[in-house]
Structure 1
Amino acid sequence: MDTMTFLDKLNPQQRQVCVNEGNILLKACPGSGKTRTLTYKLAYSVQKYITSKKLNIAITYTNRAADEIKERLEKIDIPEDKVWVGTIHQFCLEFIIRPYTMYNERLRKGYHIIDDYVTKQYTDEIIEELGIDIGYDKPFEYPEIFEKYQTKLLNEKEIDFNDILSISYDLVNQNKFIAENIAGIMRTILVDEYQDTNELQYKILSSIVKCNKNIQVTFVGDTDQAIYGGLGGVAKTCDELQKEFGVKFQEKRLDGCYRTTQRIVDYYSNFQLQSAKIYAVSDIKDEKGCLVYDDTISKSELFEKIAYIVKEELSRGIPDNEICIIAPQWWLLFPLSKKIKELLPNVKFDAPDITPIKYDPMNVFYLISKLIFTESGQKIHLRKKIANEIIEILTEEYKIYLSDEIDNYKILKIINSISETDENGVVYLQKAINNFLIEIGIDLNIESRLQKAYEDFILKVKDRVKNNHLSTDIDTFKQCFKEKEGVVINTFHGVKGEEYTTVIAFGILNGYIPHWDTIINKPHYRESETKKLLYVVCSRAKQNLYLFSEQGRTTQKGAPLTSTDEIVAIDYKYDDLK
Structure 2
Amino acid sequence: MNKLLFHPVPPGASATRVPRAAAASAKTSRELVRGDEPDAGYFRTLERDGILLNASQIAAVRHGDGPLLTLAGAGSGKTSVLVCRTGYLLSVRRVSPGRLLLLTFSSRAAAEMRERIGRLPGIGGMELSGLQARTFHSFFLYFLRRQGVRQEIFHETRRQHILLKAIMRELGLPKDAYPPESLLSLLSSCKMNMGDADSLPELTNADKEIKEILKRYEQWKQDNGKIDFDDVLLHAYRMLQERPGLLAELQRTYLYIMVDEFQDTNALQYELIRMIARPRGNLMVVGDDDQTIYSFNGARSEFILEFEQLYPEAKVITLDINYRSGPAIIGLGNGIIRGNTRRRPKTLRAAAPEGVQPRYLRPYTADEEAEAIVEYMVSAVEQGERSYGDFAVLYRASSSSRAVLERLLLRDIPYIDYGEGRLLYEHWLISPVVGHLRLTVNRRDFAAMEDMLPTLYISREQGMAHIHRMEAAQPKQGPLIHLLSLPGLADFRQTAIRERLDMLRHLRELTPLQAIRQIRSRFYDSFVLADERHQATLHRETLKEMLDELELSAGRFGSIPLFLDFIDEVTSRNEHHRLPGGTEQGDRVALMTIHKSKGLEFPVVVLLGASEGILPHSSALDAGRLKDRQTAEGGGEALALLEEERRLAYVAVTRAKEELLVSSPALHRGRKAPVSRFMLAAFGAAGAAGAADGGAGAGRQGARSGGGNAGSGAGLDGRAAAAGADADSSAGRGGYGGGAARHGRFGGADGKGGGAAASSRTRTIAAWSCPAAACPGWMRVKSGGAEDHLAHKPCPLCGTPMERGSRDVPV
TM-score range, shorter chain: 0.5 to 0.7
Aligned to 1:361: none
1:235 counterpart = 2:301: yes
Structure 2: which 5+ runs fail to align? Answer: 1-39, 187-200, 202-206, 423-570, 630-636, 685-694, 696-707, 711-811
TM (norm. structure 1) is: 0.66
Aligned equivalents of 1:228, 1:264: Cα separation in 2: 23
Counterpart AA for 1:299: A
Aligned to 2:261: 193
Distance 1:53 1:219, change over 3 A: closer
1:21 counterpart = 2:88: no
Counterpart AA for 1:156: K
1:178 counterpart = 2:234: no
Aligned to 2:367: 300
Aligned to 1:62: 106
Aligned equivalents of 2:308, 2:398: Cα separation in 1: 39
Aligned to 1:385: none
Counterpart AA for 2:100: N
Residue range with higher mean Cα deviation, 481-490 or 302-311: 481-490
Is contact 2:59–2:317 with CA below 8 Å preserved after alignment?
no
Aligned to 2:145: 98
Distance 1:86 1:355, change over 3 A: farther
Greater Cα radius of gyration, structure 1 or 2? 2
Aligned equivalents of 1:572, 1:228: Cα separation in 2: 27
Aligned equivalents of 1:349, 1:276: Cα separation in 2: 38
Counterpart AA for 2:136: I
Provide the secondary structure at the position in 1 that maps to 2:75.
coil
Is contact 1:318–1:501 with CA below 8 Å preserved after alignment?
no
Aligned to 2:322: 257
Provide the secondary structure at the position in 1 that maps to 2:257.
strand
TM (norm. structure 2) is: 0.49
Aligned equivalents of 2:380, 2:709: Cα separation in 1: 16
Deviation at 1:153, TM superposition (A): 1.7
Q: Deviations over 1:429-488 (max 9, x none)?
A: xxxxxxxxxxxxxxxxxxxxxxxxxxxxxxxxxxxxxxx869999x999x6665432343
1:310 counterpart = 2:377: yes
Aligned equivalents of 1:174, 1:222: Cα separation in 2: 33
Aligned equivalents of 2:288, 2:305: Cα separation in 1: 17
Aligned to 2:54: 11
Deviation at 1:301, TM superposition (A): 2.7
Distance 1:561 1:40, change over 3 A: farther
For residue 280 of structure 1, the aligned residue among 349, 370, 374 is 349
Provide the secondary structure at the position in 2 that maps to 1:570.
helix
Q: Deviations over 1:52-83 (max 9, x none)?
A: 25143222233333343334334436455243
Aligned to 2:677: 566
The within-5 A match list for 1:9-408 is 9-22=52-65, 23-48=67-92, 52-76=96-120, 78=123, 80-95=128-143, 97-102=144-149, 110-128=151-169, 129=171, 131=173, 139=183, 140=186, 142-157=207-222, 158-210=226-278, 212-213=279-280, 216-236=282-302, 240-241=306-307, 244=310, 248-272=313-337, 273=340, 274=343, 276-283=345-352, 285-287=353-355, 289-314=356-381, 315=383, 317-318=385-386, 321-330=389-398, 332-333=400-401, 336-337=404-405, 339-340=407-408, 343=411, 345=413, 349=415, 351-352=417-418
Deviation at 1:223, TM superposition (A): 0.9
Distance 1:125 1:35, change over 3 A: same
Aligned equivalents of 1:334, 1:50: Cα separation in 2: 55
Distance 1:501 1:156, change over 3 A: closer
Deviation at 1:334, TM superposition (A): 6.8
Q: Deviations over 1:318-339 (max 9, x none)?
A: 5654432212244544763463
Counterpart AA for 2:598: K
Aligned to 2:553: none
Aligned equivalents of 2:656, 2:103: Cα separation in 1: 26
Aligned to 1:489: 591
Q: Deviations over 1:334-374 (max 9, x none)?
A: 763463265365xx655549789xxxxxxxxxxxxxxxxxx
Report percent identity of matched pairs. 21
Aligned equivalents of 1:24, 1:162: Cα separation in 2: 28
Q: Deviations over 1:508-566 (max 9, x none)?
A: 35554445554433534332111110011111223422112335653xxxx54835753
Deviation at 1:220, TM superposition (A): 0.8
Is contact 1:322–1:500 with CA below 8 Å preserved after alignment?
yes
Q: Deviations over 1:357-410 (max 9, x none)?
A: xxxxxxxxxxxxxxxxxxxxxxxxxxxxxxxxxxxxxxxxxxxxxxxxxxxxxx
Q: What is the total number of aligned residue pairs between the two structures? A: 447
Distance 1:208 1:193, change over 3 A: same
Aligned equivalents of 1:484, 1:328: Cα separation in 2: 20
Deviation at 1:35, TM superposition (A): 1.8
Distance 1:165 1:243, change over 3 A: farther
Provide the secondary structure at the position in 2 that maps to 1:534.
helix
Provide the secondary structure at the position in 2 that maps to 1:278.
coil
Deviation at 1:2, TM superposition (A): 5.7
Deviation at 1:199, TM superposition (A): 1.4
Aligned equivalents of 1:515, 1:164: Cα separation in 2: 34
Distance 1:179 1:68, change over 3 A: same
Structure 1: which 5+ runs fail to align? Answer: 103-107, 357-467
Deviation at 1:228, TM superposition (A): 1.0
Aligned equivalents of 1:336, 1:277: Cα separation in 2: 35
Aligned to 1:505: 607
